[in-house]
Homo-oligomer: A and B are copies of this chain.
């Protein structure tokens, strides 16, 4: 009978006597990898009650119980390390990218504003901002270098801005280069998120768009958690402040969290926005579940969502009339 152990393969008879043995080398990493593969395969395991330590000593793999335990300790430690160091799941990697993107966005905006203020003293009439301004500065530096083919030529020539000294020009161009490369990085990370979403959550991407979908996964913590959320939770993800105010006090429940950025919701008239948000959230939840449990693409969800939203908007063409008769409180009191 052949058995696999963490230190090699043994051939034993029915009484447990070792007939033949084939050891692995004493390389910790190799032994750890081998023991992990055993854990997965579970074939030819030693019979219950079989004393591995004695077998290892008898067969001559180690020469004492102390040596056996010391080696076993090192191997299990290495195996544990190998286990945690598997690749991160794709949704965790998306979350990291979303967080990095948020930081990049914030810093890019801050540096862009600073650049605008700084260069504003030298060419206040440019009318440029953000990436356009940064690219302009990288290209020309001082407004004196603007070529006659540039649409800003005459503005640059007649500008009321101060003269830009060479030392400051170098500084400004360098600063603008930083801003440009941050805008570059932003696009790169966005493209990464878009690609990853296509692989990890194609249905969610279809319904929510790549960035909103990635943000939902990021706020939920993982695709699994998002798939487990009821759609009413998805509807208010990112509106926790308003939600807790609602739960604590008499504030109305929030109609939408970050899903407000969904085009179907933010283009809807205010009086159906809650209904539309509920419809969108329910399909987002469905999409996340399909992505997590099956992974197949179902384009029909989007069609159904669009039909549903159309129906909501057709049934509610006008803002609701405020009922002042019946049970409602008089207007004045409600305003309080």
Contacts and interface: CB of A to CB of B under 8 A. Distances in A.
Nearest to A114: B103
Which applies to chain A's interface (DSSP): helix, strand, loop or mixed?
helix
Interface residues of A, number: 43
Interface string A56-99: 00000000000000000000000001001111100001001101
A196 to B, nearest CB: 8
Contact of A107 (B88, B97, B111): B111
A171 interface: yes
Contact of A185 (B167, B168, B178, B195): B178
Contacts of A178: 104, 178, 181-182, 185
A93 B161 contact: no
Contacts of A104: 111, 175, 178
B174 A185 contact: yes
B192 A161 contact: no
A88 B182 contact: no
A139 interface: no
B85 A159 contact: yes
Given A104-B111, A162-B85, A192 B167 contact: yes
A171 B118 CA distance: 30
Given A178-B181, A185-B178, A118 B100 contact: yes
B188 A93 contact: no
A327 B148 CA distance: 80
A221 interface: no
Interface string A271-309: 000000000000000000000000000000000000000
A158 interface: yes
Which 6 residue pairs spanning A and B have beta carbons closest together? A107-B107, A87-B163, A103-B114, A81-B160, A88-B162, A84-B160
Interface of A: 81, 84-88, 93, 96-97, 99-100, 103-104, 106-107, 110-111, 114, 117-118, 121, 158-163, 165, 167-168, 171, 174-175, 177-178, 181-182, 185, 188-189, 192, 195-196
